[in-house]
Chain A
Amino acid sequence: MSKKEILAASEQESGGLVEEIGELKEILRDVARKLTRLETQVKRGVIYAGSKTSDIPRGADVNKPANLSAANVLEVYEELRLQAKNGNEEEVRQKLLAMSATDLNLMCCELGMPPSSKNPSRKKMFELIIGRIKQSLRLSRHIDRQTL
């Protein structure tokens, strides 16, 4: 084989290798795309599963006008307190869930616990109100040693 023939053969070989490398890179890109897609789907799935454990709607627009007046929210609070006192905690929860973010925010303020942020989460407001109800019930609770 002449020198020319040897050079032509190695050029052809390296060209083939470059082509193969290009194909492999394309396959890897495709795999990466698929992996990214899967990753996104998995992440979405986790968030969805997480949100299912908490039925408190995310996002709260407390700037909408309130449905209840200040006096009304205190009446509602009193009803909720009595329900909690009678052991109907699930009903209290459902009623609070049904209330708008604006009303929850107003109730927090009227109970002397204005949420610290301008746009508080419903979850935070929900917890503040439940906390106040629990506090109220604890105030008059006594453990009588005789009855234990």
Chain B
Amino acid sequence: MSPKSIAVINFKGGVGKTTVTWSLGNIISQGTDLEVLMLDLDPQMSLTEAIGLNENTGHLDDKFGKWYEKSLKHRLTIYDALEVFKKAGQNFKFPVGFDTIYQIDEQLHFVPSVEELYWLDIDGFDGKSVKDFIRRFIGKIANSANLPKYDLMLFDCSPSFSLLTYSVLSCCDLILIPVNPDYFGSRGLSLVLNSLQKRIEPYPFPKIAVFMNKAKTYGGLLTNEVQFYMREVKRLCDEISKDNNIEVRFLESTIRESVGLKRAINEGELPRELVREFEKLWRECEEYLK
């Protein structure tokens, strides 16, 4: 069975894409028997840095640092795979293995980002040549005898409609959009849905799920402001689904604002109060993917 793929996306920066990707990967790999692969497609490398950086020394963690240098040196990163794909097209051959995929733990593996992804747009890559890249790349991973049979792939996308984002959106099963409870956060959703409608190929359109992230609480309850934006975002999802005949679902799961969440990636453990919220989010995504 081919793995399910979820792209975490929002063209607005700072909504929490990286922490959501990591938290879901963490929760699913620790709480289920699923094999999870996370892929960092953002040239800002936030997820890569968060996983590899040792907060105490400010340098890459020894184990990850050595592995990453080796992967760069032997040209086995995702960017190198993309370069090969661009030249070879249909005859794409790339040795995907544990030199391209880093093992965080037994059930959670990771394809890091590289700085060169910044230059994709001006390095002679174009939409057509990149569009099928992710489909072919994950196909190679799924068919590799040297790798586990991943059940789920989680993509941390860049906050723009980059070539790689385009490639992921063209083949993923679910687009997961975190939004924040403020005007610009909610407006970002409206803009992203509007442009997705125009750009995603091929049809049928992937399923889209939206949820509220960084929700403020007071006395354990969501504030009225958060609830106001939740109603607005839900209405937006319903209107877009109805007007454009696509599936946009507003999830009931809400992830509350937590100071400790960013640090959690370095420490490798989610704050206890957020575990249940991410578990609920995953259950809803899983149900929606069926």
* Residues of chain A at the chain B interface (Cβ within 8 Å): 109-114, 132, 135-136, 138-140, 142
Of the listed stretches B31-39, B113-121, B182-190, chain A binds B182-190
Q: For chain B residues 223-237, which have a beta carbon within 8 Å of chain A?
A: 223-229, 232, 236
Note all chain A residues with C-beta closer than 8 A to B191: 142
Q: List 21 A-B contacts (CB under 8 A).
A: A110-B224, A110-B228, A111-B224, A111-B225, A111-B228, A112-B223, A112-B227, A112-B228, A112-B229, A113-B225, A114-B224, A132-B228, A136-B232, A138-B187, A139-B186, A139-B187, A139-B190, A139-B232, A140-B190, A140-B236, A140-B239
CB of B258 within 8 Å of the partner chain: no
Please list the 8 inter-chain residue pairs (A to B) with the smallest Cβ-Cβ separation, ordered nearest first: A112-B225, A112-B224, A112-B228, A111-B228, A142-B194, A139-B190, A140-B190, A139-B186
B181 CB to nearest A CB, Å: 9
Q: For chain B residues 183-214, which have a beta carbon within 8 Å of chain A?
A: 183, 186-187, 190-191, 194
B269 CB to nearest A CB, Å: 32
In the complex, which range does the number of interface residues on chain B fall in?
A: 10 to 19
Note all chain B residues with C-beta closer than 8 A to A132: 228
The B interface is mostly helix, strand or loop, or mixed, namely helix
Note all chain B residues with C-beta closer than 8 A to A139: 183, 186-187, 190, 232, 236
Note all chain A residues with C-beta closer than 8 A to B224: 109-112, 114
Once bound together, how far apart are the Cα atoms of A140 and B187, in whole Å? 7
Note all chain A residues with C-beta closer than 8 A to B226: 112
Q: For chain B residues 220-254, which have a beta carbon within 8 Å of chain A?
A: 223-229, 232, 236, 239
Note all chain B residues with C-beta closer than 8 A to A110: 224, 228
Once bound together, how far apart are the Cα atoms of A71 and B227, in whole Å? 13
Q: For chain B residues 158-195, which have a beta carbon within 8 Å of chain A?
A: 183, 186-187, 190-191, 194
Q: Which of B186, B190, B228, B232 has the most CB of A within 10 A?
A: B228
Note all chain B residues with C-beta closer than 8 A to A138: 187
B35 CB to nearest A CB, Å: 39
Once bound together, how far apart are the Cα atoms of A109 and B224, in whole Å? 7
Note all chain B residues with C-beta closer than 8 A to A140: 190, 236, 239
